[in-house]
Amino acid sequence: MPPLRRRPEDVEAIAQHFLQRFAAETGRRISGYTPAALQAMRAYHWPGNIRELRNCVERAVVLAQSEWIDVQDMALSHLAAPGETGRQSVGRAAAFVPATIDEVEHRHVLATLEAVGGNKTKAAAMLGIERSTLDRKLAKWAKA
């Protein structure tokens, strides 16, 4: 089977499948993708193939600020894939903001908790960690 970047017509159907799956797992009410998000996904080169699309949709479901996933909810890389220099990047370019891994993790954990309405069990499952690990992290950050 050819890579996803050579099958842009399949991106929307696959993304819709993952959207339904992750919305059900998290309990989020996501209606779909904005036209801009769909266009960005079709134009993106998907160097990580289906696995990258899956991860992108999972992240977008958790972090979406509305019932529609938009381009800014998605983590599409702005770097060219090997052999694709000169290609235009997709989405918006964000300014680099220096941060430690702990700061990035902290923001991500809090965003995940907010996305699942404060449900620590769901957040831990989305993050791929045990509930007790999440509790320890939150306690550590509360002391700081």
Read off the pLDDT of residues 1-59 as tens digits, 9 standing for 90 and up. Answer: 888 888 889 999 999 999 999 999 989 999 999 999 999 898 888 888 999 999 999 98
Considering only CA atoms, which of 34, 58, 56 is closest in space to residue 115? 58
Domain pair 4-73 / 101-143, same fold:
no
**Structure-model confidence comparison of residues 141 and 95, the more confident one:** 141
CATH, domain 101-143, list 3.40.190.10, 1.10.15.40, 1.10.10.10, 1.10.10.60 = 1.10.10.60
Model confidence over 97-117: pLDDT tens digits?
Answer: 787 888 888 888 888 888 778
| Annotated domain spans of the chain | 4-73, 101-143
For 43-101, the DSSP string reads HS--TTHHHHHHHHHHHHHHH-SSSEE-GGGS----SPPTT-TTPPP-SPPPPP----H
Residue 89 is predicted with a pLDDT of 43
Q: 69 forms bridges with which residues in the sheet?
A: 33
Residue 94 is predicted with a pLDDT of 56
**Structure-model confidence comparison of residues 49 and 89, the more confident one:** 49
Rounded Cα distance, 29 and 107, in Å: 22
Residue 90 is predicted with a pLDDT of 45
- CATH number, domain 4-73: 1.10.8.60
Residue 113 is predicted with a pLDDT of 84
Residue 61 is predicted with a pLDDT of 92
